[in-house]
Amino acid sequence: MTAGFWMVVAVGGAFGALGRAALTLWMGPMGYFPIATFLVNLLGSLMIGMAWSYFSRSGGQILLSAFLMTGVLGGFTTFSTFSLETAHLIQQGAWGWAASYLVLSVLCCLFGAGLGIWLLR
């Protein structure tokens, strides 16, 4: 890959991380359930499904797909934060919240990615 490829991924990642931070700060703490991370991952899953569906049909847009899918959406969504928040809920003894967050995140994000693919087909 060229230096241009790596630059578009890095710039996209910066935009995605800034978007996630802005949404998280705007929403603030929401009690036990980490709603900001949940919504970020759900929205990101929907958007990556839509992007994949578009780029798989259009072809030849490697830099744009790298910018959007790997960069922006990779920087926006966050599996590591999801994992940490789930572990924190378990450590607090909030087993019901942890299980709800785990199950809802996985199912809703899979649904979001599938919906995004379906919307652009």
Which pLDDT score is estimated for 121?
86
CB 38, CB 98: distance < 8 Å: no
Instruction: Specify the number of domains making up the chain.
Output: 1
- The structure's pTM equals 0.85
SS (H, E, C) 14-52: HHHHHHHHHHHHHHCCCCCCCHHHHHHHHHHHHHHHHHH
Residue 22, domain extent = 3-119
pLDDT at 29 over 80: no
- In this model, does residue 60 exceed pLDDT 80? no
Percent of the chain's residues with pLDDT above 90: 79
Kindly indicate the confidence band of residue 68, based on its pLDDT and cuts at 50, 70 and 90: very high
User: Taking 90 as the threshold, does the pLDDT of residue 30 lie above it?
Assistant: no
Tell me the pLDDT tens digit for each residue of 34-50: 999 999 999 999 999 99
How many residues can be counted in the chain?
121
Per-residue model confidence (pLDDT) at position 56: 87
